[in-house]
């Protein structure tokens, strides 16, 4: 995204403070509709002359069309660089050490970015980094990083850590506060699409469910409804996968707020015990 109005437009369209970003900065943000429902998420990276949105593949066209619809008299030009850009995520306790072994510069703070030759690397947290490069460099770089994990192994790792993914754990049904991903929102930035609902929820405290990582004492689960000890619905299981390391199923679920914390009552799903991690 280029043009003099690029930051102003994204600032008005997302939940985080895009206008405060300087080259080398980044942030995580949600796109909402007027009813406050989450349409997509993105990591927004600020370069000297452009803003780059790193999004889920499934929402790429949706975000492009959404932004394009709101460009009227703005000096903003959109370009889809999917075909010319590869994104490699490096995660795990040894992620930083693996990158340092290749001579990669490590960004100092979460969602900050730095150049690594023709590549860009940014930090999500202490165990997650993403490298943006060209497709021709991908095979060589992944080979130098060592044997890569497949999608199943990555899914196990993310759910062991309780990392939500848009389209699986966060959808258009959900409100921002329900996700507990508060790093995605600025409450001081001013107006944006969906802000009225976000502020109403904050002022009235009317969130009845929250996303939480859970463990299930079963090797697999074929249903999604979580019950409390009285048989009433306590929540809904979203993603789930068997963890060989923990020898149980791990996942993410939207639970009634009274079921998160020390006052939580016993829960189960298909007869198997459920606990909040």
pLDDT, tens digit, 9 for 90 and up, residues 172-212:
999 999 999 999 999 999 999 999 999 999 998 779 999 99
pLDDT in tens, 265-275: 999 999 999 99
Task: Return the CATH number at 64.
Answer: 3.30.1360.120
pLDDT of residue 111: 97
The answer, yes or no, to whether residue 72 has pLDDT greater than 80, is yes
Whether 258 maps to a domain, the answer reads yes
Same domain, 152 and 217: no
Same domain, 147 and 221: no
Task: Return the CATH number at 221.
Answer: 2.40.30.110
pLDDT in tens, 132-144: 999 999 988 988 8
Whether 200 maps to a domain, the answer reads no
Structural domain count, the chain: 2
pLDDT > 90: percent of the chain:
90
Same domain, 24 and 130: yes
Whether 198 maps to a domain, the answer reads no
pLDDT of residue 149: 62
Same domain, 146 and 13: yes
Range of the domain at 141: 6-161
Same domain, 45 and 133: yes
Q: What is the 3-state secondary structure (H, E, C) of the chain?
A: CECCCHHHHHHHHECCCHHHCCCCCEEEEEEECCCCEEEEEEEEEECCCCEEEEECHHHHHHHHHHHHHHCCCCCCECCCCHHHCEEEEEECCCHHHHHHHCCCCCCCCCCCEEEECCEEEEEEECCEEEEEECHHHHHHHHHHHCCCCCHHHHHHHHHHHCCCCECCCECCCCEHHHHCCHHHCCCCCCCCCCHHHHHHHHHHCCCCEEEEEEEECCCCCCCCEEEECCCCEEEEEEEEEEECCCCEEEEEEEEEHHHCCCCCCCEEECCEEEEEC
pLDDT of residue 146: 76
The answer, yes or no, to whether residue 150 has pLDDT greater than 90, is no
């Amino acid at each position: 995204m280029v043009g003099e109005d690029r930051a102003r437009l994204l600032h008005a369209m997302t939940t985080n403070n895009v206008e405060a970003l300087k080259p080398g900065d980044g942030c995580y943000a949600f796109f909402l509709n007027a009813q406050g429902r989450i349409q997509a998420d993105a990591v927004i990276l600020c370069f000297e002359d452009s803003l780059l949105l790193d999004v889920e593949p499934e929402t790429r066209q949706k975000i492009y069309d959404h932004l394009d619809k709101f460009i009227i008299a703005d000096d903003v030009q959109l370009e889809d660089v999917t075909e010319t850009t590869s994104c490699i995520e490096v995660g795990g306790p040894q992620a930083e050490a693996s990158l340092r072994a290749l001579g990669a510069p490590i960004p100092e703070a979460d969602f900050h970015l730095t150049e690594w030759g023709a590549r860009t690397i940014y930090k999500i947290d202490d165990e997650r980094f993403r490298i943006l490069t060209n497709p021709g460099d991908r095979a060589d770089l992944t080979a130098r990083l060592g044997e890569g994990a497949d999608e199943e192994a990555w899914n196990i790792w993310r759910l062991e850590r309780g990392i939500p993914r848009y389209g699986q754990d966060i959808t258009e049904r959900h409100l921002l506060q329900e996700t507990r991903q508060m790093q995605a929102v600025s409450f001081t930035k001013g107006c944006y699409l969906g802000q009225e609902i976000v502020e109403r929820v904050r002022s009235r405290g009317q969130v009845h469910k929250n996303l939480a990582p859970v463990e299930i004492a079963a090797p697999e689960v074929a249903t999604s409804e979580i019950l409390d000890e009285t048989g009433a619905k306590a929540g809904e299981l979203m993603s789930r996968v068997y963890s060989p390391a923990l020898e149980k199923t791990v996942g993410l679920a939207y639970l009634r707020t009274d079921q998160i914390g020390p006052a939580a009552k016993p829960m189960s799903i298909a007869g198997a015990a459920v606990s909040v991690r």
